[in-house]
């Protein structure tokens, strides 16, 4: 309880906001609200801004992971828990849609049975690989000097962000617009550096607003950049590449905006007890929001029912309200489903047979943890 009281939950709040933003960007993206709104209209600009803000959520999640994992120990149980919950929801929707008589392709069956290995949840696959790698990443960052660390980050910044923005036709470093393990590792190292070498030369109250201004500034630069390039996107394949890269996760503008937003939340200290307890309650439920609404089987069905395209011609405030409102309702619905799942699993876990299984598995987890024990690696 003492540790719970001292914990600064600002990054947990960023996780909650980030997951809501992920739902929002899927609403905008799957309904193609940027493409179908008239170029230059207020609706078009509003969707660009929402898209630019929402896409920061994914880099922020990797930054948060790096911030905490750089001083954590490898836990096999955590990986198996993530894998297990992912498999549960994947198989749940496979069985449910099959019972409902909905025909599914062979690809959907394979993706549902092997959700992590198939990459059907790309973030889960990337995170699990990153988790297996983090003890070795920590070995590197604890052995090198701060100057060497800065050089390493500089090289990765050029390869991941600057080249991707200035020379987007170069796909050697990353052809996925930032949806890769390479970029995830870079963000991990950035966050780890921030935690290991951050200074307190400026008061947090002033520092956080500097970061907030940087976040807004570079987010708007990204919007303006795309706004200028979008009208000429169809003129050639080259202009299309530049326009698409303007809204990529690893553009230099998105990177700086993401890090600035991340630093803004680090410098927030939430002291209100009710607010802290609320944030801590929602934190373990967030992963299911992603698993449910991003499920490959659910996705097409879900967005066809919602049909956000029908709101594209509404006035700008109504369109923004509908986008945020439906995303919020979907977010809460997924939270509710996860609460029910956790309740059922809690009751099952109290059965004697499952307690014995859990005890046996815990012993095996501890043996596997020793293989990638970060403390042992650092001492050796």
- What one-character-per-residue DSSP string does 268-318 give? -----HHHHHHHHHHGGGHHHHHHHHT-HHHHHHHHHHH-GGGGTTS-HHH
8 Å CB contact between 380 and 372: no
pLDDT at 345: 80
Output the DSSP codes for 47-115.
HHHHHHHHTTHHHHHHHHHHHHHTT----HHHHHHHHHHHHHHHHHHHHHHHHTT----HHHHHHHHST
Taking the C-alpha atoms of residue 288 and residue 16, their distance in angstroms, rounded to an integer, is 12
Q: 373 to each of 16, 201, 367, how far by Cα in Å?
A: 30, 34, 10
Give the Cα separation of 242 and 221 in Å (integer). Answer: 15
CA distance 103 to 296: 14
Query: For residue 138, how many other CB atoms are within 10 A of its CB?
Result: 22
pLDDT of residue 363: 65
Number of domains forming the structure of the chain: 1
DSSP characters over 234-258: TT-HHHHHHHHHHT-TTSHHHHHHH
Q: Domain containing 67: what range? A: 2-379
pLDDT value of position 357: 64
- Largest alpha-carbon pair distance within the chain? 67
What pLDDT was estimated at residue 66? 93
Question: Crossing angle of helices 296-306/286-293, nearest 10°?
Answer: 80
Other CB atoms within 10 A of residue 45 CB: 16
The per-residue pLDDT for range 6-30, each reduced to its tens digit, is 567 899 999 999 999 999 999 998 9
Predicted pLDDT at 28: 93
Q: Which residues in 316-325 are b (16+ Cβ under 10 Å) and which e?
A: eeebbebbee
| pLDDT value of residue 328 | 96
- Give exposure, 272-308, as e/b (b: 16+ Cβ within 10 Å): eeeebeebeebbebbbbbbbbbbbbbbeeebbeebeb
Residue in the block written with tokens 């990153």: 130
Per-position pLDDT tens, the chain of length 380: 445 445 678 999 999 999 999 999 999 989 999 889 988 899 999 999 999 999 999 999 999 999 999 888 888 788 888 988 999 999 999 999 999 888 888 888 888 899 888 888 889 999 999 998 998 999 999 899 999 999 999 999 998 888 877 876 666 666 666 678 889 999 999 999 999 987 655 565 678 889 999 999 999 988 888 777 777 666 666 666 777 777 788 889 999 999 999 999 998 888 888 999 999 999 999 999 999 999 989 988 898 899 889 999 999 999 999 999 999 999 999 999 999 999 888 787 766 666 666 666 666 666 666 665 655 444 44
Residue for token pair 């990459």? 119
Please, are residues 266 and 11 in contact by the beta-carbon 8 Å criterion? yes
Q: Report d(CA 313, CA 280) in Å as an integer.
A: 39
What are 109's two structure tokens? 């069956």
Collect all residues with Cβ–Cβ distance below 8 Å to 118 and sequence separation of at least 6: 110, 111
pLDDT of residue 334: 95
């Amino acid at each position: 309880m003492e540790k719970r009281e001292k914990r600064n939950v600002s990054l947990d709040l960023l996780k909650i906001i980030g997951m809501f933003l992920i739902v929002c960007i899927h609403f905008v993206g799957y309904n193609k609200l940027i493409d179908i709104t008239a170029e230059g209209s207020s609706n078009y600009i509003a969707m660009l801004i929402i898209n630019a803000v929402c896409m920061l959520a994914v880099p922020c999640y990797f930054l948060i992971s790096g911030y905490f994992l750089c001083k954590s120990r490898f836990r096999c149980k955590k990986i198996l828990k993530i894998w297990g919950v992912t498999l549960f929801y994947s198989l749940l929707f496979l069985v449910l849609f099959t019972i409902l008589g909905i025909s599914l392709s062979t690809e959907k069956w394979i993706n549902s049975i092997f959700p992590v290995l198939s990459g059907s949840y790309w973030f889960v696959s990337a995170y699990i690989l990153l988790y297996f790698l983090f003890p070795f990443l920590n070995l590197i960052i604890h052995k090198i000097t701060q100057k060497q660390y800065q050089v390493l980050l500089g090289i990765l910044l050029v390869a991941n962000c600057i080249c991707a923005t200035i020379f987007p036709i170069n796909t050697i470093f990353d052809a996925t617009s930032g949806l890769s393990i390479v970029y995830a590792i870079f963000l991990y190292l950035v966050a780890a550096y921030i935690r290991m070498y951050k200074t307190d030369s400026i008061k947090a109250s002033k520092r956080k607003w500097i970061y907030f201004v940087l976040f807004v500034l570079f987010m708007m630069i990204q919007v303006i950049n795309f706004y200028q390039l979008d009208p000429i996107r169809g003129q050639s394949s080259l202009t299309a590449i530049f326009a698409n890269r303007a809204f990529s996760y690893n553009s230099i503008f998105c990177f700086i905006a993401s890090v600035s937003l991340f630093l803004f939340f680090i410098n927030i200290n939430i002291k209100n007890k009710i607010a802290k307890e609320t944030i801590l309650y929602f934190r373990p439920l967030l992963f299911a929001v992603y698993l449910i609404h991003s499920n490959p089987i659910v996705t097409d069905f879900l967005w066809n029912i919602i049909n956000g395209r029908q709101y594209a011609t509404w006035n700008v405030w109504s369109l923004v309200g509908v986008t945020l409102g439906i995303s919020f309702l979907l977010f809460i619905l997924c939270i509710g489903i996860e609460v029910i799942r956790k309740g059922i699993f809690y009751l099952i876990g109290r059965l004697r047979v499952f307690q014995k299984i859990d005890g046996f598995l815990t012993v095996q987890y501890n043996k596997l943890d020793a293989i990638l024990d970060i403390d042992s690696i650092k001492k050796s």
